[in-house]
Chains A and B, each alone.
Chain A
């Protein structure tokens, strides 16, 4: 069966019509047979009666004289069973003893027979059942002929009507075809057939989500390109200063600055890649993760950096905290938080805390640094946002906290910024659901 709705509808409707036609035909045939039986039985009877008022000899009557109907066979017997008359010499249906109507099988044919006994004679008129059936069939055919003739016309009509009814579908499909990644406007929803409304609704929903995702992506690429310009500008200028340097001391100083510029560009590119990877679609598999263990690894990684800056880096934990999550991403998250804390703390220390509370895994990183003013806290998670007046000399990529936020979002967690215990410094609290383990 074809998969076109139009074709299917046409085939099924025509099939239904044909079945209906057959049923009607059968009914008509049955009805016609009943009527014909009644009529012809009446005729048989009339014929027998008319014969009973005539005197007939034993010789067959000349053809056509008595019986204009050649299909009827008439025979007359006397009281002693001697045949006095027969209308067809070759067709001699045996005498029936019973009076009235009966069906007789004779000579490989079925006959409808009427027998009348009128005192001294027996008159018997017969008619072949086959003829009755043929007449009924003929009548039925005539009744059905117009319907059969109409069938192709009906088919054409169905084809056109269904096509018309399906037109909104083709309008819709050309509207969908007209959508490109650059133009994802919602599909028009006016004058839609009821059946299409949910489909178009979900399509529009999808288009909207797609648009948002593309817009985010576009914005990201634009931001990234813009952000890469700053370190590249610095590198280009520093390179020119190296070329211009007159003395070897000048050259050494310029080369050192150039190296910093290159490191900064590299770091930005790495952060961009990390950010791009922290994406559910990228699909790092969630596995069982022990946050306590993870925190120990991250602290071991950053210990040398903390020592360089004379900062104390410590862990407070009551033991393993198990959850399901993307291990590498969680490690990047924790690493960025510790890195930031070291970067913006001049003296004192950084404490990492791991615990479970209220059915959630909690990771906390607290430092004794400059902290983040309350009015800036909502914005520091934005990509490429840098706090004004940050003059620690370190040029951040503006991506560290954006990456943290993305990992937390991906795990369905929450992140909260507050001042440290003494009112100074920064405390970052990340709450993560355990995940179904």
Chain B
């Protein structure tokens, strides 16, 4: 899952990015609303983490602009403003959730997961497909009743495919979701991960549609 973090405080930005990466998210971090705009145009993000106290343009103003423009991605506000009125105006400006600083990394990832779940129309926290179960909170996977070991990238790739069974994701789309800015991507990285997953789940689990990309069948 690729997330965009807009936070002007260097220490907080770095720590949030590091923490969310450990949870298997891909995080791009910018320090102002203008840079956020540019990032949103260039990449597809699953969620926006937004600090309100940004230089020049406040996070709230920018959020209002985004929503007026029809931007639909889920937005989680991270802010030091904890008054009820601030929360209300934050949510009314179009945020989906509101987290007050200082916050806990575990709570932040849980809220991010919940927002993503809701976004994909699921209420159930587990990702299930036939006999495969993925737990996004713990990164545990079981297949046919047995736990299987998946690397963080393998897990993220599988989760991306399971989110919308039947839909085809291109190699570029998968790369985009797996790697943030400045991360080294080897040209055949996605193929390698797919190969490893097929070894663990059986060759038929992930289909390759030649020239288009990969998918898991709608009905297992």
Contacts and interface: CB of A to CB of B under 8 A. Distances in A.
Interface stretch (B102-110, B156-164, B179-187): B102-110
B56 interface: yes
A230 interface: yes
Contacts of B22: 241, 244
B18 A234 contact: no
Contacts of B104: 236, 240
Contacts of B14: 257
B15 A257 contact: yes
Interface in B1-33: 9-12, 14-16, 18-19, 22, 31-32
A240 B104 CA distance: 8
Contact of B12 (A234, A260, A386): A234
A421 interface: no
Given A226-B80, A257-B15, A388-B56, A232 B10 contact: no
A196 interface: no
Contact of A395 (B10, B56, B105): B10
Contact of A230 (B9, B32, B105): B9
Nearest to B51: A230
Interface string A221-236: 0000010011111111
Interface residues of A, number: 26
Nearest to A386: B55
B9 A241 contact: no
A107 to B, nearest CB: 107
B198 interface: no
Nearest to A391: B31
Given A229-B80, A229-B102, A234 B55 contact: no
A229 B100 CA distance: 10
Nearest to B54: A388
Interface-centre pick from B18, B32, B103 (highest chain A CB count, 10 A): B18
B72 interface: no
Interface-centre pick from A235, A237, A240, A388 (highest chain B CB count, 10 A): A237
B199 interface: no
A389 B32 contact: yes
Contacts of A393: 10
Contact of B19 (A235, A237, A264): A237
B81 interface: yes
B9 A234 contact: yes
Contacts of B67: none
A377 B32 CA distance: 21
A178 B167 CA distance: 71
Contact of B11 (A229, A254, A257, A391): A257
A425 interface: no
B68 interface: no
B105 A237 contact: yes
Nearest to B106: A240
Interface string B38-75: 00000000000000000110000000000000000000
B211 to A, nearest CB: 39
A411 to B, nearest CB: 32
B105 A240 contact: yes
A234 B102 CA distance: 8
B218 interface: no
A98 B9 CA distance: 127
Give the 3 A-B residue pairs with the shortest CB-CB distance, closest first. A388-B55, A237-B15, A234-B11
Interface of B: 9-12, 14-16, 18-19, 22, 31-32, 55-56, 80-81, 101-106
Given A229-B101, A241-B15, A395-B10, 4 more contacts: A234-B15, A236-B103, A237-B16, A241-B22
